[in-house]
Amino acid sequence: MEAARENPSWKTWFETYGPKLLLCARQWTRSLADAEDVVQEAFVRYWRHQRQLPGDPQALLITSVRRAALDLARRETRRAVREEKADGGLEEREAIFEPLPGDGDERRLEIEAALHGLPPEQREVLVLKIWQELTFEQIGETLGISPNTAASRYRYALAALRKELKPLSYG
């Protein structure tokens, strides 16, 4: 991430870190398009106003992505309430993951259902730990919780997923 501060090219930086931020944003949004919008909004905000701030740039960006996603969720909730009163329906969620070759769509759906079944606090820690590769200290800083709380939420999430998901049998 230090290269991000030294490299003046936002395009290079975004090409490098954008996919991880998008995956992170997907856990807080209803669709890939919403996640892309959230990442773009957060990245522009970071690049224009926050990149000179002290601290870990990745943590600043993830915090910005999370805030943008929460703002979008609040707007979506208000809109959904208005639409439900008018004609009642919400669109289905889009897929978070592409299925691995041989795993098929059923496994992807099983994993997504298990992830969506986790409490949001556990799900966000899990995504930050696994896909963003943050330490518990970085997760704590990003979410405004202690590193021990982050570690506990991670352990609870893994335990819940182990209970929910059947191991794959290859052979």
The one-digit pLDDT tens for each residue of the chain (171 residues) are 444 445 457 787 788 778 888 888 888 888 889 989 999 888 888 888 777 777 777 778 888 888 888 888 788 777 766 666 665 444 455 555 555 555 566 777 787 888 888 898 999 899 888 888 889 998 998 888 999 999 999 999 999 988 888 776 554
Q: Indicate whether 54 and 102 sit together in one domain.
A: no
The whole-angstrom separation of Cα 155 and Cα 149 is 10
N- to C-terminal Cα separation, the chain: 41
Q: Indicate whether 88 and 103 sit together in one domain.
A: no
Q: Indicate whether 87 and 105 sit together in one domain.
A: no
For residue 60, give the nearest of 74, 70, 49, 71 by alpha carbon: 49
Q: How many residues does the chain have?
A: 171
Which residue, of 71, 94, 117, is where some domain finishes?
A: 94
Q: Indicate whether 137 and 86 sit together in one domain.
A: no
Which residue, of 48, 68, 94, is where some domain finishes?
A: 94
Instruction: Give me the phi and psi of 24, to 5 degrees please.
Output: -65, -45
Q: Indicate whether 15 and 80 sit together in one domain.
A: yes
Domain that holds residue 168: 97-171
pLDDT of residue 8: 58
Token pair, residue 82, equals: 């208005």
Q: Indicate whether 46 and 119 sit together in one domain.
A: no
The whole-angstrom separation of Cα 88 and Cα 80 is 8
Q: Indicate whether 73 and 136 sit together in one domain.
A: no
Which residue, of 94, 126, 145, is where some domain finishes?
A: 94
Q: Indicate whether 138 and 74 sit together in one domain.
A: no
